[in-house]
Amino acid sequence: MTDIVWHQHEIDQAARGRQKNQNPVLLWFTGLSGSGKSTLAGALEHALFNAGFHTYLLDGDNVRHGLCKDLGFSLDDRDENLRRVGEVAKLMVDAGLVVLSAFISPTRAERERVRNLFPEGKFIEVHVSTPLSVCESRDPKGLYAKARKGEIANFTGISSPYENPESAELTIDTSKGDLATQVQALVDYLSALQVVDGEKMMAGLGI
């Protein structure tokens, strides 16, 4: 690795962001299976896209079809899965995009490693704090039922712990309120940080 040197290109993240009239960041949605991470991230991306912003959504299942298809679900493989996702997200933010990621990412250490890839203010942790009982009642993939029967080992929330974030930038419980209100809370936060232009956002949403 000593012979590998990072090449600094003339066009940087700031220039790419200015071209797109946005402040590139990573929003990291973390929470239990069934908490609503993907739904919430997808709805926010839809709102941003409709308002003319440049985005990309990295989803836990989707990356395992290509980028991480060689990985299983052991603890080491899960760590490697998130390491790869973090590095890809870093490149996408460098490209000037507003990146959204939806991963259980159960440990604080895993999430902190991704956070440390980014300058201050470029990593926004969104804790989707929906209670386990609600997540299990939804069970969209039937995973909780299998975990309760012992058919899935190391299942987060059942046989493996989930460590709640201690200082997430945002916390949203999808069992409270509706999706539109939850997305608006995210939009308001991004507008306050000047990640996106609030007036452009409202115009795109017809507000």
pLDDT digits (tens, 9 = 90+) for 126-170: 999 999 999 999 988 899 999 999 998 889 999 999 999 999 999
- Res 60: pLDDT: 74
Taking the C-alpha atoms of residue 197 and residue 17, their distance in angstroms, rounded to an integer, is 12
Residues designated as active site? 105
Given a contact cutoff of 8 angstroms between Cβ atoms, the answer to whether 188 and 194 are in contact is no
Given a contact cutoff of 8 angstroms between Cβ atoms, the answer to whether 186 and 28 are in contact is no
- 145 phi and psi, to 5 degrees? -60, -40
- Res 194: pLDDT: 82
Q: Are strands 170-172 and 123-128 parallel, antiparallel or unpaired?
A: parallel
Nearest to 135, CA basis, from 120, 145, 124: 145
From first to last of the 207 residues of the chain, give the pLDDT tens digit.
Answer: 567 766 677 788 888 888 888 899 999 999 999 999 999 999 999 999 988 899 999 987 787 777 778 877 778 888 888 999 999 999 999 999 999 999 999 999 999 999 999 999 999 999 999 999 999 999 888 999 999 999 988 899 999 999 999 999 999 999 999 999 999 999 999 988 888 776 766 665 554
pTM of the model: 0.89
- Res 59: pLDDT: 85
Tokens for 118, please give them.
């980014």
C-alpha 140: how far from chain center: 19
- Res 79: pLDDT: 86
Nearest to 52, CA basis, from 186, 200, 206: 200
**Alpha-carbon dihedral 106, 184, 22, 40, rounded to 10 degrees:** 30
Tokens for 63, please give them.
């990356």
> Which secondary-structure segment (H or E) carries 59?
strand 55-59
- Res 203: pLDDT: 61
Tokens for 84, please give them.
């790869």
State in Å, rounded, how far the first CA of the chain is from the last one.
52
